[in-house]
Amino acid sequence: MTTTTSPLRLSHVSATLGGHQILHDVTLEVRPGELMALVGPNGAGKTTLLSVMAGDIVPTSGEAVLDGRPLARWKVAALARSRAVLPQEQRLAFGFRAVDVVRMGRAPWARLPQEDLDDVVVADAMHRTDVLSLAERSFPTLSGGEKARTSFARVLAQQTSLVLLDEPTAALDIRHQEQVLSEARRLAADGHAVVAVLHDLTVAAAHADRICMLADGRLRADGPPQEVIRPEILRDVYGHPVDVIDHHGRLVVLPHLLTHDQEPTCAP
């Protein structure tokens, strides 16, 4: 697979959607060889930030740069060979077979020498996501988890240096959550830059090299899990008290239970 030594850089990025400012002055780098988890409360701006990283949303101020070139200046086909995106929702209106959906990831390589590898790459991606048995099934007939894994196989088949995953584990059972995140870690180990939006803080702490925490469209914390997954930070950002326990070297986040006469604390 092709990798890059140049990071994705966001410099003082702000973004406005529908007249509302969603992101405020976000600066960060996405580095090859690293799995970054984007976490934060609902409405924090995680999906919007991922869309800026993908080049799907142009910042209202600031700049997003991939390989030394602003994302807004990339041609569509070239960008598709450099970054792959797994969206939150898997929408396909037509009854494509699962194998056809995975093969869509090879479209950016059409009429290039890499096209000769299509069959091998597609089969490998489906094997790694445990969807080979679904190859002939119509995509709309799959369960939510099966659709998510098939779509992740499409991302793997695209073979890009930057991989952006929006809630890749949301519809998955425990075994397939671990499988998908293990593949994300494998990509990072192979030199790819991987960003995943995750809601489960325990899962994020277990798998990510680095955690970027958003709140109200602002970057509130950025660093290794041990520095970011801390009770005082989580209470401030999420507006709810938690305990963080070190369980055999893995951080486990346990929210305090509310009794019937308690009200949740509002996040700032």
* Per-residue pLDDT tens over the stretch 135-184: 999 999 999 999 999 999 999 999 999 999 999 999 899 999 999 999 99
Q: Report the alpha-carbon distance of residue 228 to residue 222 in Å, rounded.
A: 7
**Residue 41 exposure: Cα atoms within 13 Å on the Cβ side:** 18
Whole-angstrom Cα distance, residue 7 to residue 177? Answer: 27
Digit-coded pLDDT (tens) for 30-64: 999 999 999 999 999 999 999 999 999 999 999 99
Q: What percent of the chain has pLDDT over 70?
A: 94
Q: For residues 223 and 236, what is the distance between their CA atoms, to the nearest angstrom?
A: 17
Please report whether residue 86 resides in a domain.
yes
Residue 163 maps to a domain = yes
Q: Model's pTM, two decimal places?
A: 0.92
| Longest Cα separation, the chain | 66
Confidence of residue 94 (pLDDT cuts 50, 70, 90): confident
CB half-sphere exposure, 240, CA atoms < 13 A: 14
- Structural domain includes residue 266: no
Q: 3-class DSSP state for residue 251?
A: strand
Any domain includes 234: no
Question: Quick check: 46 and 40 in contact, CB under 8 A?
Answer: yes
Burial class (CB in 10 A: 0-12, 13-18, 19+), 147: buried
Task: Count CB atoms within 10 A of the CB of residue 136.
Answer: 9
Q: Is residue 243 part of a domain?
A: no
In-domain check, residue 231: no
Query: What does the alpha-carbon distance between residue 147 and residue 127 come to, in Å, rounded to a whole number?
Result: 15
Quick one: CA dihedral 224, 226, 229, 233, positive or negative?
Answer: negative
Q: The domain that contains 20 carries what CATH number?
A: 3.40.50.300
Domain that holds residue 103: 8-224
Structural domain count, the chain: 1
Residue 263 has pLDDT above 70, yes or no: no
State the CB neighbour count (10 A cutoff) for residue 47.
17
Any domain includes 237: no
pLDDT in tens, 213-248: 999 999 999 999 999 999 999 999 999 999 999 999
Q: Specify the amino acid at residue 151.
A: S
Instruction: Flag whether 15 is in a domain.
Output: yes
